[in-house]
A and B are shown apart, each in its own frame.
Chain A
Amino acid sequence: MVLSGWEGESMGDISRERRGENPVYPDRPGTSRRRFLDYLLGTTATATLGAIVYPIFKFMSPPQVIESTENSVVAAKLSEVPVNTGKIFKFGNKPGIIVRTSAGELKALSAVCTHLECIVQYRPDTKQIWCACHNGQYNLSGKNIGGPPPRPLEEFKVNTRGDDIVVSRS
């Protein structure tokens, strides 16, 4: 049946409804085939868009790499860290720093600056841990004592096993 605009006017309420109009309030949309199709179209479009965007979004966020659960590591040989020097070592996939103080004591700390993640170094002249990026300073227990760093460096336990320096999470 062809239902064009003016033809319908002579018809009753049933055909109005069938045409997609609300028989009670002609100016409002009714629960009609038109609305239903619009609804289907809308949800299909949204779902399709979602099915496209979601994988793209997930693809862009990198997979979580399992953090190394290494709790202790042979960081260096004793001979590699003379008195009043520091050395960067790998602790899992993060850098740590061993310092042999002028008193000969060994200290091990995280080498990742708590400010903006630069790698710190030991300064023999000031006998402090220093970050070159924004002039952050820590004492040899890792406490932030100057510059912008907001938190102390994590301190690790140090043991010696023969000539090996063994660092472990406390």
Chain B
Amino acid sequence: MKLDAVTSWLDERLSISTLAKLASKKEVPLHRHSIWYYFGGMTLFLFSVQVVTGILLLLYYRPSSENAFESVQFIVTEVKFGWLIRSIHSWSANLMIATLFIHMFSVFFLRAYYPPREITWISGVFLLFVVICFGFSGYLLPWNKLAFFATKVGTEIAGVVPIVGRPMLRFLRGGDDVTGATLTRFFGFHVAVLPATATVLIAIHVLLVQLHGMSVPPNLLGQPVKKMKFIPNFLLRDLIGWILAIGVLAALAALFPWELGEKADAFAPAPAGIKPEWYFLFMFQTLKYLPAKIWKFDGEVIGIMAFNFTAVLLFVVPFVDRSPENRRRRLIFNVIGVLALLYILGMTIVGYLT
């Protein structure tokens, strides 16, 4: 057969059968928490939607303070399906952050970071920060009022950090103020630096998952757990989720097209009711509640340092809680996780309502 000949020719050169054998080894444990296994793959799928729609937007977008707003306006009003592509890019970004948070918390509560999976967790935390940087840099690109002030506040927050803050702020803004220079920089981060970083991190993350296999939650260890082949069985299930996601994205884009707002103006007051994206809302709300002075320090400095500290803590989680036997520590970590989740949810809701 012709096809066989082609396959064996390729196999001799690319060792496809070895890769296929490796992939066929992957199995997904089936138990009452199996639903959470879908969210990693879902995040990856939404990321690929971002890559495709992002490249499409690049065909028309112009990264300068004079042209950016107008070019996005052109995309959503003149370009065929421009509204759809732009809205899907925005919606998919938000859904991706949502699925990423779900993935992270499920990995946390199911203890998928226990040895030997510490580096998988760490690469995941890095990916979380990369994705947040994607969101923050992408938000500015339409150069509208909300984005302008969000960037002002966000970069100012970086500037508040002692010692490294000020140079970092100037590096991010490309000067002392948020200007066209900031837009150009953010564009570069958004379409070159971050995608390259994310690609490397995703490769590491996924390879490690393949290497270690899917983690089984510690409270199910010692029990017989049924398994399902990843290829094709679980992948087909994933696929159903992804098709649903495409449907959801198209529906959201059609029913709630992403707004463009007003063009940014460096000499206009911040509009009333201004709020950051929902995933920053809990931090925003915290900053609102902090008093001007806490002891000798500015309130916002304390708040921002506390959030930075928490972010660093994420990295050490697998090194502190590392044994399924230590039930006390497991309980403490569960309590911390639940409190963090409640805090984020609570502050986000308050942020929305006020």
A contact set with B: CB distance below 8 Å: 60-62, 65, 88-90, 93-95, 97, 111, 115-121, 131-135, 144, 147-150
Contact = CB atoms under 8 A, between A and B. Distances in A.
Contacts of B270: 118-121, 131-133
Interface in B156-187: 156-157, 160, 167, 170-171, 173-177, 181
Interface of B: 149, 152-153, 156-157, 160, 167, 170-171, 173-177, 181, 266-274, 284, 287-288, 290-293, 298-300
A89 B287 CA distance: 28
Query: A interface, by DSSP: helix, strand, loop or mixed?
Result: loop
Nearest to B155: A117
Nearest to A67: B176
Contacts of A148: 287-288, 290-292, 299-300
Contacts of A135: 288
B152 A60 contact: no
Contacts of B153: 116-118, 133-134
Nearest to B287: A134
Contact of A60 (B171, B177, B272): B171
A70 to B, nearest CB: 15
A61 B157 contact: no
B232 to A, nearest CB: 47
Nearest to B293: A150
Contact of A62 (B156, B171, B271): B171
A65 B174 CA distance: 11
Contacts of B152: 116-118
Contacts of A120: 269-270
B299 A132 contact: no
A116 B157 contact: yes
Contacts of B181: 62
A115 B269 CA distance: 14
B268 A119 contact: yes
Contact of A61 (B170, B284, B300): B170
B174 A62 contact: yes
Contact of B269 (A111, A134, A147): A111
A65 B292 contact: no
B341 to A, nearest CB: 24
13 contacts: A62-B173, A88-B269, A95-B266, A97-B269, A118-B152, A119-B267, A120-B270, A121-B269, A121-B270, A135-B288, A144-B292, A148-B291, A150-B300
Contacts of B274: 118, 132-133
A169 B170 CA distance: 25
A131 B287 CA distance: 14
Given A88-B267, A111-B269, A133-B270, 13 more contacts: A88-B268, A95-B266, A118-B149, A118-B153, A118-B274, A121-B269, A134-B153, A134-B284, A134-B288, A147-B292, A148-B287, A148-B299, A150-B293
A123 B160 CA distance: 28
A62 B269 CA distance: 26
B167 A61 contact: yes
Contacts of A97: 269
Nearest to A129: B269
A16 to B, nearest CB: 46
A100 B206 CA distance: 62
A59 B159 CA distance: 20
